[in-house]
Structure 1
């Protein structure tokens, strides 16, 4: 009986950690140069693929009505808040990695190949954008 009770308690404590090892949720992106919080991005799963949108601009001088002037095609001049910046990432089989999607850098309007890797028990998200062998990785913080 004690073992069964201990297993139930352990599962109840560990379950939130297991659930957090996913990119799904609200994340705070940081500026690579200044280390300041830039924005909050909400990542959701739709039909097995991830989609992420800017939910809030956090820079001190950010204009809440800012538009994506560098974006191309249908995203050109769309509001930054609500802008889809992550599309199509899917979980790699047997790994806690999501890849195969795209990430948009609204500051330059370019799209990059995407890889998302939860870290630190799901409290951080390594976001890698690349073109061929060239790329960079940012670490986003989960917003609880």
Structure 2
């Protein structure tokens, strides 16, 4: 199982594709460990993005990103691209952004597969250069 570690949505796991790749489907977990949603990370023309492909709570499937700004404002969270514009830099994907649909904030971020456990995806978001907002295991 793969895991994404993000504080604003907590931990994620996936039952798919055990490998040293960020690509594939990842489950986002609530703090309780219950699966919240599934995000698919994919590459298009060398740029890596990730979108919400499933929300497991049927009552929240039609939720909108009311706190978002710009083109994401009031779009359904299901289908929304939350991870945008990552570029490969050695074993990490950098210079991307991640959108928190809970508060509409966008953070500079980087992602990488954990070197000790290929089923964990580390996600680190920043404001500016030095303030860590959330992280996976380093």
TM-score, reference length from structure 1: 0.74
SS of alignment partner, residue 122 of structure 1:
coil
Unpaired stretches in structure 1, ≥5 consecutive residues? 1-15, 140-144
Contact 1:21/1:96 (<8 A) preserved: no
Structure 2 residue aligned with 1:125: 121
Q: Distance in 2 between matches of 1:62 and 1:50?
A: 30
Which protein is richer in helix relative to its size? 1
**Superposition deviation, residue 129 in structure 1:** 1.4
Structure 2 residue aligned with 1:78: 75
Structure 1 residue aligned with 2:42: 44
The structure whose Rg is larger is: 1
Which protein is richer in strand relative to its size? 2
Between Structure 1 and Structure 2, how many residues are aligned? 118
SS of alignment partner, residue 135 of structure 2:
strand
CA-based RMSD: 1.9
Structure 1 residue aligned with 2:28: 29
1:23-82 Cα distance to aligned partner (Å, 9 max, x none): 111001122x33322210001101111011001112x47421111111101100101110
**Superposition deviation, residue 104 in structure 1:** 0.3
